[in-house]
Amino acid sequence: MSDKLHGKVAVVTGASSGIGEATALALASVGAQVALVARRTDRLEALVKRISESGGQAISIVADVADDAQAHDMILKTKDAFGRVDILVNNAGVMLLGQIDGADTEDWRRMVNTNVLGLMYATHAALPIMKAQGEGHIVNISSVAGRLAQAGSGVYNATKWAVGGFSEALRQEVHNDKIRVTIIEPGAVATELTDHITNPEAKQRVKTWVQSLTPLESEDIAAAIVYAVTQPLRVNVNEILIRPTDQ
């Protein structure tokens, strides 16, 4: 444990697996008190235990970020528990790949509601608290898919493009309030993300592609997030693009 973030409070959405789980562990290991948000209670409870056993402090909050009321409530619950909200890592997301023609539009709603609106709702809830504190940091997880569009990824691309546009406008609106905004853009990371794809061909195609690489580990992304949020207040790391070497 180090104490770089001692006294700071972080909310990590999508903390029940993958990048969010690794980020919660990494933030706790540098002294932040962490609120872990996702829908799978058992995973969150196990992570709270792990963080507590290694000397950190965490709470679990079961919430669906795609629900405006639940997303707001998770931020308020964090403030109630720890007294502040310094860092919000908007990480919860789904990548339901497939061609646009013939797609199941329920996949589109899930992606837009989680990857875009969920991130916006949480940000909306955190801003008044961060403004009152006189500082804050919002870290939005985009993707290489927020920079490069590909056939078979149109709506996922659209959601991550939205994250980029929203984040830059937000940065311009709140930098005078000492609120920093960072976009993290990972390439392929070995997580459960592809398991949730509903289109069998798209799922197989992306799994085969990931297996052809040495993908990043979730900890690699967590380290980039820790880097961004531990810089002096004068430094706003705007954007970090990280790909596996062989991608």
Active site residues: 156
Min dist CB 216 to ligand NDP, Å, is 7
Interface with ligand NDP (CB under 6 A): 13-20, 38-40, 43, 64-66, 91-95, 114-115, 118, 141, 143, 186, 188-189, 191-193
For ligand NDP, the closer CB: 2 or 41: 41
Parallel/antiparallel/unpaired status of strands 239-242 and 33-38:
unpaired
CA distance linking residue 61 with residue 44, whole number of Å:
8
Min dist CB 26 to ligand NDP, Å, is 13
Min dist CB 211 to ligand NDP, Å, is 13
Contact between 67 and 44 under an 8 Å Cβ cutoff? The reply is no
Determine which helix (DSSP H) or strand (DSSP E) holds 241, and give its type and residue range.
strand 239-242
For ligand NDP, the closer CB: 91 or 167: 91
For ligand NDP, the closer CB: 227 or 233: 227
CA distance linking residue 183 with residue 23, whole number of Å:
14
Which position has the token pair 């709603």?
109
Min dist CB 132 to ligand NDP, Å, is 26
CA distance linking residue 146 with residue 165, whole number of Å:
10
Min dist CB 52 to ligand NDP, Å, is 19
CA distance linking residue 123 with residue 183, whole number of Å:
13
Measured in whole angstroms, the distance separating CA 5 from the mean position of its chain's CA atoms is 18
- Report which residue type is found at 106: E
For ligand NDP, the closer CB: 126 or 141: 141
Measured in whole angstroms, the distance separating CA 190 from the mean position of its chain's CA atoms is 15
Q: Residue 184 forms beta bridges with which residues?
A: 141, 240
* CB crowding 115-125: b at 16 or more within 10 Å, else e: bbbbbbbbbeb
For ligand NDP, the closer CB: 109 or 131: 109
